[in-house]
Amino acid sequence: MKFGVVVFPGSNCDIDCYKVLSNVLKKDVDYVWHDTENIEKYDVIILPGGFSYGDYLRCGAIARFSKIMDSVVKHANKGKLVIGICNGFQILTEVGLLPGALIRNNNLKFICKTVPIRVENNTTPFTLNCEKGQVINIPIAHGEGNYFIDEEGLAQLEKNNQIVFRYCSEEGLIDEKSNPNGSVKNIAGICNKAGNVLGMMPHPERASELLLGNEDGLILFKSIIDYLERGHFE
């Protein structure tokens, strides 16, 4: 079992992801530079948060053309696992592995705080240790985390059970008050139809040690590990 954390110019959460996997979970993990083309040895590719290429055009718009992304698309098409966190989610939409787009928060401000999210789909490799409807507290840190998709696309997401997380209240209520950025239907994370590619704006790697006050995010990484150990990957 081997993890690869992609490093783009401007990534700033790559170290967090690496440390959780190596120090906390004791797993084999590498940093993978953005111009790497051969990623066949990795079972899981993580696109971390940050500001790839400074987000000068549009979040993820330049990173989408990095050499590694063609390999990431092939990796995903083989059924291997890909998770994009925050800026990584934005990159996944730019490259077309996930539908929709991430636009400016509706208050036009950068938001950095811990929020509750509700697990909508616990059948993915990333959520198999979760209960459907379970509320976990995960930090967000973004200025363009407002998930948008048209009505037809939303209908497809709902039909295919691709909505994985929604922003909610501490009690699990989905309402406008619990939506921090204006995302359509409070969407905080989605997967592709096959379920092997996940994009989410909240940062589970920032909630994976009690030293940081919260380890709710560990459930996602442990789900991935259990999924692979059970042999479902093959």
CA-atom Rg of the chain in angstroms: 16
Catalytic residue, chosen from 94, 120, 144, 205, is 205
Residue 31: Cβ-neighbour burial (10 angstroms; 0-12, 13-18, 19+)? middle
Is residue 86 annotated as part of the catalytic site, yes or no? yes
Is residue 203 annotated as part of the catalytic site, yes or no? yes
Single-letter amino acid, residue 199: G
Structure-block tokens of residue 208: 């994976």
Is residue 168 annotated as part of the catalytic site, yes or no? no
Distance, in Å, from the CA atom of 11 to the CA atom of 193, rounded to the nearest integer, reads 27
Beta strands in 61-218 (DSSP E): 81-85, 101-103, 111-119, 135-142, 146-148, 163-167, 187-191, 197-200
Catalytic residue, chosen from 13, 59, 86, 191, is 86
Q: How many helices (H) and strands (E) does the chain have?
A: 5, 11
> Which are the catalytic amino acids?
86, 203, 205
